[in-house]
Structure 1
Amino acid sequence: MADHAPLELERFLPYRLSILSNRVSQAIAREYQDRFDLSMTEWRVMAVLARYDGEGLSASEVAARTEMDKVAVSRALTRLVEARRVSRRAHDGDKRRSVLRLSAAGWKVHDTVAPLARAHERSMLAQLSADEQRALLAILDKLAPV
C-alpha cells in the first residue's frame, strides 16, 4: 500500500483564504442578489467600473483588474448591459475596442450596494483589535500587493 500524505485542508492557507473570501462575499452578496438580482461577479465588475470611471475600461481590463476569468466577466457584462446598468460604446481610436462605464441606473445600484459592502467590512473588522487590523492589512499588502 502506498504512503499518502493528504493535505489538511483546514490548515492549508489557500483553502482557508478561499473559505474566508467566500463567507465574506456571500454575506454581502445575499443583500444585493435579493434586492437587485445581481451576481457576485456582476457586482465586482460594477465596483471596478466605478473605481476606474474616468478611464473607461475594456472587458479585458476589467478581467485583469479583478483577476476573474474573462468568460465570467464577459457573461457578467452581457447581463449588465442588457439590464442597462453598464453602457458599452466603441473606443474613439479603435472601433474594435469597447469602452465600458456604469450607466445612471448602474450608479444608482452601486451607490446603494457600496455602503452595504463597507458596513459589512466594518462589522467584520470590528471583531479585531486595532493592532490586529493593522497586522491583517500589512499581511494582505505583503501577500497580495495592490
Structure 2
Amino acid sequence: MAADGFELNAFLPYRLNRAAEFVALRFAAQYKARYQLTRPEWRTLAALGSTRRPMTATEVGAHSAMHKTKVSRAVSALEERRWLTRNENEGDRRLEHLQLTKAGLRAYVELTALAANYQAELDALVGAAGMQALTAGLEAIERAIGKVEKRPRREG
C-alpha cells in the first residue's frame, strides 16, 4: 500500500486504461503492419463497416469515442485510399454523409477477419472463465454508463 493510502494499481480507471492500451496496441500492430492504418483510421473504417449505412463525421466520432479532428484526418486518409466517399447533405451543406466504397468494404471484411483471429488469441490468453468475468464486468460498467448518461445534469 502506498504511504498516502492510495493504491494506483487498484484504481479502476488506471487498470482499465492499462488493459485497454495493451489489448488495443497489440491489435494496432497487426492492422498497421498489414494495411498501414492508424488507430483513428481503423476505428473510422470499423464504425462505417459495422453499421453498413452512411454516417456523418459526428456520428463516427460518437460511435468510436474519437475527437472530431481525429475523425476528420481519418476520413481524409480513407478517402485518399478510395475506401470511402463523402456525399453532401442536401438539407444542410455543412454535413457530409460518409460511406465505404466497395474497396473500403472489402478492407473492412478482411480486417474483421483479422480482428476475429485476434479475439480468439485473447480468448485463449485470458481463458474462458476470465473472459466471462471480464464480459460481466464490462457489461456492468456499460449499464452504469447508461444510467449516468440518462441523469439530468445539474447546473453549477
Per the TM superposition, whether the score is higher than 0.5 is: yes
Query: Matched residue of 2:125: which SS?
Result: coil
What percentage of aligned pairs have identical amino acids? 33
Which deviates more from structure 2 when the two are superposed, residues 57-66 or residues 105-114?
105-114
Note the C-alpha offset of 1:27.
1.1
Note the C-alpha offset of 1:128.
3.9
Structure 2 Cα separation of the partners of residues 129 and 81 of structure 1: 39
Match of 1:134 in 2: 132
Which of 85, 93, 96 is the matching residue for 2:94? 96
Unaligned stretches of 5+ residues in structure 1: none
Note the C-alpha offset of 1:143.
0.3
Structure 2 Cα separation of the partners of residues 74 and 15 of structure 1: 29
What is the alpha-carbon root mean square deviation over aligned residues?
A: 2.0
Note the C-alpha offset of 1:129.
4.3
Structure 2 Cα separation of the partners of residues 119 and 92 of structure 1: 41
Structure 2 Cα separation of the partners of residues 121 and 21 of structure 1: 13
Listed one character per residue, the Cα deviations across residues 92-138 of structure 1 (whole Å, up to 9, x for unaligned) are 43332100011122112111111111111121122344343222212
Q: In structure 2, do the counterparts of structure 1 residues 98 and 17 end up closer, same or farther at CA, with 3 Å as the change threshold?
A: same
Structure showing greater relative contact order (alpha-carbon pairs closer than 8 Å, 6 or more residues apart): 1
Listed one character per residue, the Cα deviations across residues 46-86 of structure 1 (whole Å, up to 9, x for unaligned) are 001011122x1100011011111111111111111122111
Query: Matched residue of 1:46: which SS?
Result: helix
Give the AA of the match of 1:87: T
Match of 2:12 in 1: 13
Count of paired positions = 142
Give the AA of the match of 1:42: E
4+ aligned runs moved over 6 Å, structure 1 = none
Match of 2:153 in 1: none
Q: In structure 2, do the counterparts of structure 1 residues 96 and 120 end up closer, same or farther at CA, with 3 Å as the change threshold?
A: same
Structure 1 Cα separation of the partners of residues 92 and 134 of structure 2: 43
Which deviates more from structure 2 when the two are superposed, residues 8-17 or residues 74-83?
8-17
Structure 2 Cα separation of the partners of residues 5 and 106 of structure 1: 52
Match of 2:73 in 1: 75
Note the C-alpha offset of 1:140.
0.6
Which aligned pairs between 1:4-83 and structure 2 lie closer than 5 A? Answer: 5=4, 7-54=6-53, 56-83=54-81
